Amino acid sequence: MNKKTLTHFSIRYGFLIIMVLLFIFFSITRPVFLTPSNLLSILLGLTIYAILALGETFPLIVNGMDLSIGAIASLSVMVSSYCMVILELKGYYAIIICLLMGATIGLINGLLIVKLKIPDLLTTLGMMFLVQGLQLIPSAGRSIGNGMSLPNGETAKGVFDEGFKFLGQGRLFNIIPIPVAFMFIIAVIVFIVLSLTRYGRIFYAIGGNSEAARLVGVNIYKYRILAYIISGFVASFAGIVLAARVGRGDVSSGGTLLMDAIASALIGYAVLGAQKPNPFGTIVGAIFIGMLINGLTMLNVPYYTQDFIKGCVLVTALAFTFGLSKRKS
């Protein structure tokens, strides 16, 4: 095997090999890691930020980034809880309201970035702080749950819809958790859209060379706005699943979702040497982070050290992939 072939092999399969070796290491050092219940627990634990990462894939494709997805998911948790517990609405009304809200926030992000030319990081960072404050206003900064006390001294009469809770707590065929099924369904949909449709090719064309795409007649502004709408819509859906899983509106929900979601999407760049956002790489990145967190927790590694290790892995994966790619070219 010559040097060029070895470099090509490392770019394509290096990250997957590291992932397999890490899996074997955790399995040997902690045999309980390999049990079906723990593996299913890993998948269930990563579903929310994996769904967020799949939505984040679209802004990344068009050379943007949405930092408001974690806040949108948290807002969706609080709004859906408020609708059912305080306003006594049915679960499907709460779902519709949250999805429309997420898409609207995404639309605002897109318009600010495309029409007013505000940098995407500044726009979505500002929106993140705005949404984080907004989610606390209806409940006066308190969590929302069945039987909570209202400011006027009365007890909230509304409850979480059982059908709504099934979205986060139910199981498909009494085996597969519904959130895990949602994650893979969304991944398949995103893969089909990006890989097998004209719209996906246009998204990638804009990310590759927006000026060339514009010269061939593509409305690049419309697609960039659409990317943020999709991101906001998917983020709100992730929040709905999280609320259904927890069964209450927790003000602290979604605190760490943003970084894990973005890390998952960025790690996807290194999977199979893609060097671009892609749904398969995003899911692999999310599974890697979930496996890493679970294994480190079993080894009693402190949470602050886990964040440091995750950062090291992300930087190393990207530096390794893009560094070798430049040497190859």
Residue 267 and residue 288 in contact, taking contact as beta carbons nearer than 8 Å: yes
Q: What is the mean pLDDT of residues 239-255?
A: 84
Q: Quick one: pLDDT at residue 114? A: 94
Which residues are CB-contacts of 195 (< 8 A; sequence separation ≥ 6)? none
pLDDT of residue 267: 86
3-class secondary-structure state, position 216: coil
CA dist 287 and 318 (Å) reads 17
* Closest-CA residue to 169 (of 159, 157, 182, 158): 182
Rounded mean pLDDT of 207-230?
A: 93
Domain membership of residue 1 (yes or no) is no
Other CB atoms within 10 A of residue 118 CB: 15
Q: How confident is the model at residue 62 (pLDDT cuts 50, 70, 90)?
A: very high
CB 123 within 8 A of CB 111: no
Residue 3 lies inside a defined structural domain of this protein: no
Would you state the pLDDT for residue 205? Answer: 94
> Tokens at residue 87, please?
């306003």
Residue 325 banded pLDDT, cuts 50, 70, 90? low
pTM above 0.85, yes or no: yes
Other Cβ atoms within 10 Å of 326 Cβ, number: 8
CA pair distance 284, 297, nearest whole angstrom: 20
If pLDDT is split at 50, 70 and 90, which confidence band does 313 have?
confident
In this prediction, residue 138 carries a pLDDT of: 76
pLDDT of 1 higher than 60: no
In a domain, 41, yes or no: yes
**Is 307 part of a structural domain of the chain?**
yes
Instruction: Note whether residue 154 is domain-resident.
Output: yes
8 Å CB contact between 268 and 280? yes
pLDDT of residue 221: 94
pLDDT > 70 fraction of the chain, expressed in percent and rounded: 93
- Residues with Cβ within 8 Å of 304's Cβ and at least 6 positions away in sequence, in order, are none
In terms of C-beta density within 10 A (0-12 exposed, 13-18 middle, 19 or more buried), how is residue 83 classed? buried
User: Is there a domain that residue 276 lies in?
Assistant: yes
Instruction: Output the pLDDT for position 2.
Output: 65
HEC string of 134-185 equals HCCCCCCCCCECCCCECCCCCECCCCCCHHHHHHHHCEECCCEEHHHHHHHH
pLDDT digits (tens, 9 = 90+) for 125-177: 999 999 988 888 877 778 888 878 777 777 788 888 889 999 999 998 888 89
pLDDT digits over 315-324, tens only?
877 776 666 5
Q: Are 278 and 296 in contact (CB under 8 A)?
A: no
The share of the chain scoring above pLDDT 90, in percent, equals 57
Asked if residue 5 is part of any domain, the answer here is no
Q: How far apart are CA 9 and CA 132, in angstroms?
A: 44
How many domains are there within the chain?
1
**Structural domain harbouring 22:** 10-328
* Burial label, 86 (beta-carbon count in 10 A; 0-12, 13-18, 19+): middle
Per-residue model confidence (pLDDT) at position 13:
79
Q: Give the integer Cα–Cα distance in Å for 79 and 90.
A: 13
In this structure, of 50-64, 211-225, 262-276, 278-292, the range with the lowest mean pLDDT score is 262-276
Residue 127 forms part of a structural domain: yes
**Quick check: 25 and 269 in contact, CB under 8 A?**
no
Mean pLDDT, the chain, rounded, equals: 88
52 and 256 Cβ atoms separated by less than 8 Å: no
pLDDT given at position 326? 54
Whichever domain contains 43, its CATH number is 1.10.3470
The count of C-alpha atoms lying within 13 angstroms of the C-alpha of 188, restricted to the half-sphere facing its C-beta, is: 6
- 54 vs 137, which has greater pLDDT? 54
pLDDT at site 270 = 77
Query: Which of 234, 241, 232, 229 shows the shortest CA–CA distance to 77?
Result: 241
Q: Is the distance from CB of 53 to CB of 70 less than 8 angstroms? A: no
